Amino acid sequence: MSNTVRVRFAPSPTGYVHIGSLRTALYNYLFARKNKGVNILRIEDTDRNRLVEGAVENLLRTMEWAGIDFDESVEKGGPFGPYRQSERLDIYKKHIDLLLEKGHAYYCFATAEELDEMRRQQEARGEAPKYDGRYRDYPRDQARRRVEQGEAYVVRMRVPDSGETRFRDVVRGEVAFQNDLLDDQVLLKGDGFPTYHLANVVDDHLMGVTHVIRGEEWLPSTPKHVLLYRFFGWEMPRFAHLPLLLNADRSKLSKRQGDVAVEDYIKKGYLPQALVNFVALLGWNPGEDRELFSMDDLTEAFRLEKVNKAGAVFDVDKLNWMNGQYLREMDTGPLTAFLKPFFEQAGLDVSDPQVLEKMARAVAPRINKGEDVAAFADLLRGEMPDITEAEALEILNLPDTTGVLQRFVQKASALGHLSPESFKQIMKEIQKEEGVKGPALWKPVRVAITSGTSGPDLPLVIDILGREKVVAMVRHVLENYCNS
């Protein structure tokens, strides 16, 4: 096996990119880059019934969005292609023939109906459903004749019926499976396509893969893969099975309890650097007392040996916090470009670049993801305040509030243009004339304009709305909410 680290991300194009798949792709990428190795993208499309049109293109877009690139892939090619399994059928057929010849595999002619009946009987006896090996010892010459006559068949691997299969996992240490509990796995299906189990072993070997980094769900299949390596007489790669991703109740992460597709998080306005940072920490501990890591930081710190065995809880609150941190670190230009489509979705006018930039600066400290801007849409449009917050209503009925707001309307109406600077000047004048300061001065104006006791930077909001809207909003509050 090569001294150069070679890893692969090998998804099936069956729909959206799962968050777990993003983590698998990320860990492979980080491990390859950390070790100056090669990162391979291979498309495992041998299950023809589950293929989804456009899934490969969506996968490539998602990986590009996340900043995960590949050295060899369906797009870039490479020395060990093709990188799409449906284009490698002759390779698999040759290896199936080799297993048949050595007696490590056999033809099976059991029909779907026969297999269903077999499972029903096993379940009735309280046994775990498992292929019963009815064709294991079928004479090879008779099997070949039936195949030549066009009879439907599959090819199964002949798992040893005693002993155990052991391997060492980077994450889990020594792992052992009893052979008599393993199924005689189908290697070649009736449609002529290999199953994942054969294709991934053959491809990993021929592509020189040194480390197989994948999700825990593949752990029960690994002894079958180990046996195939032995049957072929090949050196095994090192295995590393990543912990499950869990919901808050520690059940397996599923769409029933929340979003599991990367594209859902993209649509909601999560930044790639935040989602990547968050996903990287699901099951891996860098051993540092911080939580924000750039891709370069992650690459430098990444060690497979620091991946945990225990399942990792997908904490959306933590993701929201992390995304908010990244949003607030963005320069105004990129921030504005990122938030523009979310302002549009919220029905706001984004035609004026200067106003758009002001809106972005106003909401950024108050949001954690792009779609959160919708909560400020009414305010940024200058809708008349609808005040329901108990504390805000109390402020509007304090003794000094009416005087402050009346002075504000009088002074702002006299101006040709209400800017952040002139707004601050007005507030200084009101402070002197009304003899109020601090919260008693500022909170009534904030409530009258933003409908609440907290919100975006007030001078910025006033600059966005302009004098006429601001004056109209304060008048509306005076007429409808203040005791005269």
Q: What is the tens place of the pLDDT at every residue in 286-343?
A: 988 899 999 999 999 999 999 999 999 999 999 999 999 999 999 999 999 999 999 9
Please state, as a whole number, how many other Cβ atoms lie within 10 Å of the Cβ of residue 429: 12
Tens of pLDDT, residues 350-383: 999 999 999 999 999 999 999 999 999 999 999 9
Residues 6+ positions from 394 with CB-CB distance below 8 Å: none
Q: Angle 472-476-479 (CA atoms, 0-180°, nearest 5)? A: 135
Please determine whether the domains at 332-378 and 382-484 fall in the same fold group of CATH.
no
Mean pLDDT for 49-63 is 92
- pLDDT at residue 2, rounded to an integer: 65
Given CA atoms 259, 260, 266, 271 in this order, what sign does their dihedral have?
Answer: positive
Does residue 50 or residue 4 have the better pLDDT?
4
Type and span of the H or E element at 204: helix 196-206
Q: Going by C-beta distance under 8 Å and a sequence separation of 6 or more, which residues neighbour residue 70? A: 9, 39, 40, 41, 63, 76
Share of the chain above pLDDT 70, in %: 99
Give, in order, the Cα–Cα distances in Å from 24 to each of 11, 147, 314: 10, 40, 15
Q: State which fold the 332-378 domain adopts.
A: Helicase, Ruva Protein; domain 3 (1.10.8)
Q: How far is C-alpha 141 from the chain's CA centre? A: 51
| Residue 15 pLDDT | 87
Residue 239: CB atoms within 10 A of its CB come to 21
Average pLDDT of 380-392?
93
Q: How many CB atoms lie within 10 A of CB 327?
A: 24
Average pLDDT over residues 199-223: 97
Report the chain's mean pLDDT, rounded to a whole number: 95
pLDDT interval class at 484 (50, 70, 90): low
More confident of the two residues 49 and 154: 154
pTM: 0.93
Cis peptide, bond prior to residue 82, ω within 30 of zero? yes
Q: Which one-letter amino acid corresponds to residue 324?
A: G
CB 254 within 8 A of CB 226: no
Which positions are catalytic?
A: 255
Structure-token match 């040759």, residue found: 94
Residue range 264-273, pLDDT digits in tens: 999 999 999 9
State in Å, rounded, how far the first CA of the chain is from the last one.
86
CA distances from 373 to 86, 342, 455 (A): 45, 7, 12
- Report the C-alpha gap between 52 and 458 in whole angstroms: 49
Query: What are the domain boundaries of the chain?
Result: 1-77+243-329, 332-378, 382-484
Topology of 1-77+243-329 in CATH?
Answer: Rossmann fold (3.40.50)
Tell me what the mean pLDDT of segment 452-469 comes to. 94
CB crowding 100-139: b at 16 or more within 10 Å, else e: beeebbbbbebeeeeeeebbeeeeeeeeeeebbeebeeee
Which pLDDT score, from 0 to 100, does residue 464 have? 95
Does the pLDDT at position 258 exceed 80? no
Q: How far apart are CA 442 and CA 400, in angstroms?
A: 11
What is residue 311's predicted lDDT score, i.e. its pLDDT? 94
CATH numeric code, 382-484: 1.10.10.350
User: Which neighbouring-strand residues pair with 312?
Assistant: 245
Q: What is the SS3 assignment for 156? A: strand
The 10 Å Cβ neighbour count of residue 396 is 21
User: Quick one: average pLDDT of 224-251?
Assistant: 96
DSSP one-letter string for 231-299: HHT-PPPEEEEEPPEE-TTSSBP-TTTS--BHHHHHHHT--HHHHHHHHHTSSB--SSS-----HHHHH
- Count of other CB atoms within 10 angstroms of residue 176: 9
Is pLDDT at 1 greater than 80 in this prediction?
A: no
Q: How far is Cα 302 from Cα 394, in angstroms, rounded to an integer?
A: 53
pLDDT score, position 256:
67
Q: Would you list which residues are annotated within the binding site for ATP? A: 255
CA distances from 87 to 14, 78, 201, 224 (A): 17, 14, 16, 24
> Region 143-163: what's the mean pLDDT?
96
